Amino acid sequence: MKLLLVEDNERVATFVSKGLVEAGHTVDRADNGRDGMYLAASGPYDAIVMDRMLPGGIDGLGIIEALRKTGNRTPILIVSALSDVDERIRGLKSGGDDYLVKPFAFGELLARLDALLRRAQDAHGETMLVAGDMTIDLLSHKVTRGGKVLNLQPREFKLLTYLMRHANQVVTRTMLLENVWDYHFDPQTNVIDVHVSKLRQKIDLPGAPQLLRTVRNAGYMLSTDN
Amino acid sequence: MLSRFVRFSAVNTALCYGAASILVLAMFAGPLWYAWTSTIAEGRTETLVDDADRLTNLFAAQGAGQTATAIGTQVGGQPLGIGRIVVLADPALNVLAGNLPHWPHVTIVDGGMQVVTLHINDRSFRVALLSRRLPGGYRLLVGNNVDHIERLGTLALYGLIGCAGTFLIIAVIGGMVVRYAMLARVHVINQTTAAIVEGDLSRRLPPLAHQDELEMLTQTVNGMLDQIEQLVHGVRHASNAIAHDLRTPLAELRYRLEELALLRPDPEHTYTEIDGAIADVDQVLAIFNALLRLAEIDSGARRAGFTAMDVARVAVEVVEFYQPLVELHDVTLTLATSGRLATHGDPLLLAQAISNLIENAVKYAPRGSTIAVSASARGGQQIALEVADQGPGIADAEKPKVTARFYRSDASRGTPGVGLGLSLVASVAKLHHGTLELGDNTPTGLRVTLLLAGTAEGRQSVLA
């Protein structure tokens, strides 16, 4: 995918850029607001990673607002050292699609970026999700695997649906916490892991290929390749 | 200097009262004065006109001679200038009869009343005169000595002026007295405050003798100083705790990296150490983030995001969230609710608070025990959120300390966590204008109760 990275800190920019290239994307860089605005507007990019505090007359939020005003709907992931809830809300309100606090783990950035890219591509209004031999009927809330109906609790269903929507992508614990439970804090314990583990027991029955994988140091993935 | 003096509110008030008093005095005395003088003048005029008419008629009927005789009878024996004055003069202004030695040297206007000063035999008298021209050019003068009236009037005026002056003096002196008294008390406050600013937070304003507004202010300021002293001590303690708790992982990090630099092990080992280093940094960041969150909550800014919410619902969701984890530890998590519990607050913060309490409970709950969560209504529209475990509990002596930042009891050293969990719960309670209570569970364990104020939405029965 073609990505734009607007970040004024050289070390962060290099780190992120290298990682993204390694993951198979092409990356354009800007280190100030003016250049960032110019590149973002001329585009087109599949997604933008935007730092908030930028030199050059215009800051990250300003660029995003300007882009949205012109009808530009490119997915934008905001990165910022400003971690207050209010700042997060400000970022999302001005048109950003996701908000990541610095310093972040690269895996987190990559997972969220992939989620944004996937979201942009997905058709909306689908009623069925399919991954391998597992199907979810979103209307009847029925989950079947290999023809057999699986019995899931409401929260397990929500968790599985999220993983299915991001099939073959890494989903971090934070993403799960925010999207499945709507919580924005870090539990001290590994409670998310336990939820995923319980879900896995229900869907990855012995004998069937394992769909729900743990990705070391990153999170989880519903994977259809064996 | 004067302007500085007048700026004091006490002096201003006193002067205003003084001016108001003088105004009232004027409003009282003015009409009275006017009524008095005009009544007297009218009365006098009437009498004199009567007298003048009588003598004029007599003159017209019986001539100058008879008139002179009548006048002589009327005022003959009277001392000069006292009481009634009647004078008949010929056209040449020679006095024919009456009690003045000669016609007055002042200009006499015919017809109307005038008050003039007469000088007779080295004495002066104030008289009100009425003058008539009689047929043949004769002149008639009828008047009254008004010395006593005027003296009375002057006395009254002096009295009023004296009154006004007294009001003014009382106002000024009163103002000065109050000012000095107030300044003396303010000076005491200033001294104490200066000492406090210098750093002696233990000082308090001395209680004053009488219970008035300044005393109320003193008490409020002392209360504020108590609070500030507590906060400053809290900050000092927190700084020490922070220093220790941040230094530990940072020191770890440093040792790790320095070891790598010195020993230069093989890549496999190096990358393992690097992973460890990242974990150390994440630990430090977690502490920073938790502290920032606490600061944000304590600042009260989060109140702007308060919304109408159901405490019971939040409890249900958090308990459901922790069920799988608790099962793994072979512990039972129960929830007791009594219907919708409406309040005005931040659902996410309350979720985090309950979450912290449950995580703490899980840490200390022995296998097979129960953690009981309850959300119930208490009297006075209060809502009580309770988490009770069956672990070792907290000794009474330690209970007041545990909500301090970074406090970790000896029992908890070595377990994960940085000691900010209960601090957060206490801060969230305070933000919601509530309190945190620590009690004992029976037979053993800790019972943590979060008390909040509910709103009047009422207790509808079915949970959403």
Shared domain for A136 and A204, answered yes or no, is: yes
Shared domain for A71 and A175, answered yes or no, is: no
Whole-angstrom Cα distance, residue B274 to residue B278? 6
Q: Which one of A89, A121, A153 terminates a domain?
A: A121
Radius of gyration, alpha carbons of chain B: 50
DSSP state of B400: G
Peptide bond into A44 cis (omega under 30): yes
Query: What ipTM does this complex have?
Result: 0.81
Specify the pLDDT at position A32. 94
Q: Tens place of pLDDT for every residue, chain B, 464 residues?
A: 566 655 667 777 777 888 888 888 889 888 998 998 889 889 988 998 998 899 889 888 888 888 888 888 888 777 766 788 888 888 888 888 888 888 887 777 777 788 888 877 778 888 888 888 888 888 888 888 888 888 888 898 898 889 888 888 888 888 888 888 878 878 888 888 888 888 888 888 888 777 778 788 888 888 888 878 877 776 776 677 777 778 888 888 999 999 999 999 999 999 999 989 988 898 888 888 888 888 888 877 788 788 999 999 999 999 999 998 898 889 999 999 988 899 999 998 999 999 999 988 988 889 999 999 999 988 888 899 999 999 888 888 878 777 766 666 555 544 555 567 788 898 899 889 899 999 988 888 899 999 998 887 644 444 44
The size of the A-B interface in CB pairs under 8 A is 49
Nearest chain A CA: its distance from B338 CA (Å): 23
Whole-angstrom Cα distance, residue B78 to residue B329? 130
Here the CATH number for the domain that contains residue A209 is 1.10.10.10
Non-local (6+) Cβ contacts of B151 within 8 A are: none
Taking alpha carbons only, the member of A110, A209, A201, A153 closest to residue A161 is: A153
pLDDT at A22 over 90: yes
Whole-angstrom Cα distance, residue B338 to residue B311? 11
Specify the pLDDT at position B336. 93
Domain count, chain A: 2
Shared domain for A145 and A204, answered yes or no, is: yes
Q: Which one of A71, A88, A121 terminates a domain?
A: A121
Predicted TM-score (pTM) of the model is 0.64
- Token digits of residue B241: 């705790």
Beta-strand pair B435-440/B446-453 = antiparallel
Contact B448, B441 (CB under 8 A): no
Contact A166, A222 (CB under 8 A): yes
Cβ–Cβ contact A184 with B under 8 A: yes
Shared domain for A172 and A66, answered yes or no, is: no
State the fold for domain B2-155.
Beta-Lactamase (3.30.450)
DSSP state of A23: T
Shared domain for A109 and A165, answered yes or no, is: no
- Inspect the interface and report whether the beta carbons of A85 and B305 lie closer than 8 Å: yes
Shared domain for A86 and A164, answered yes or no, is: no
pLDDT at A129 over 90: no
Q: Which one of A59, A88, A121 terminates a domain?
A: A121
Specify the pLDDT at position A19. 94
Shared domain for A117 and A137, answered yes or no, is: no
Put simply, the chain B residues between 335 and 354 with a CB less than 8 A from any chain A CB are 348, 351-352
Cβ–Cβ contact B322 with A under 8 A: yes
From A185, A186, A189, residue closest to B362, measured CB to CB: A189
Shared domain for A175 and A68, answered yes or no, is: no
| Residue A62 structural domain | 2-121
Is the domain defined by B301-453 classed in CATH 3.40.50.1970?
Answer: no
- Token digits of residue A136: 């979810």
Residues of chain B with CATH 3.30.565.10: 301-453
Residue of B nearest to A101 (CA): B289
Residues of chain B with CATH 3.30.450: 2-155
Shared domain for A104 and A145, answered yes or no, is: no
Tell me phi and psi for residue A183, to 5 degrees.
-105, 145
pLDDT at A124 over 80: no
Shared domain for A88 and A20, answered yes or no, is: yes
Taking alpha carbons only, the member of B57, B87, B83 closest to residue B71 is: B87
Shared domain for A189 and A85, answered yes or no, is: no
Here the CATH number for the domain that contains residue A93 is 3.40.50.2300
Q: Kindly report, residue by residue over A60-104, the tens digit of the pLDDT.
A: 999 999 999 999 999 999 999 888 888 888 999 999 999 999 889
Radius of gyration, alpha carbons of chain A: 19
Shared domain for A190 and A168, answered yes or no, is: yes
From B296, B305, B359, residue closest to A187, measured CB to CB: B359
Non-local (6+) Cβ contacts of A118 within 8 A are: A165, A166, A169
Specify the pLDDT at position B111. 75
